[in-house]
Amino acid sequence: MALRPAFFMAASLLMLATCAPQGNRAGQTTPQGESMQHMIVSIETVRNYVRNTTGQREAEAATADLVTWAGKLGELFPPATASKLYVDVTPEMAREAPGTMIASANALRSAVATGRPAIVAMQLERTEKDGCGFCHRRPYRMPTP
């Protein structure tokens, strides 16, 4: 059952990525969608490290990438317009999400640097809940099985 939250998180991120305003760019990936795709890949790389207890270097690179993309959230989802363009994004989310995600991604990066998958697993859960979940789960609750 541990895969269920991961599946919903990935599905939520992909749905958000495809909901970006398309205009005359129909069928093309938006910068917002690209950012979500990169973040999903990074999270999955760290998850694979936790599951397999191998691939620390890849997990370190993935968390560095996650920190980089988190740093771009403010420009990709500007607070002044994000809540108007994305129905599930409130002005508060748009203002606070970049800082929350950067802090969460940095904490995950530090956890990976310990080389202890159990610590990484705990921080990965926090990152998904508090970092990614800041926008992708609030104020909604995941369905309970």
CATH code 1.10.150 for 3-15+32-136: no
From residue 101, give the alpha-carbon distance in Å to each of 24, 26, 75, 82, 114. Answer: 30, 28, 14, 16, 20
From residue 22, give the alpha-carbon distance in Å to each of 12, 26, 85, 140. Answer: 18, 5, 11, 25
Calpha distance 102→64 (Å, rounded)? 11
Q: Which distant-in-sequence residues (6+ apart) come within 8 Å of 6 by Cβ? A: 47, 128
Highest mean pLDDT among 52-56, 79-83, 92-96: 52-56
Calpha distance 60→138 (Å, rounded)? 28
Spatial CA neighbour of 6 closest among 92, 97, 133, 134: 133
Calpha distance 94→118 (Å, rounded)? 32
Each residue's pLDDT tens digit, 60-81: 999 999 999 999 999 998 988 9
List the chain domain ranges: 3-15+32-136
pLDDT > 90: percent of the chain: 52
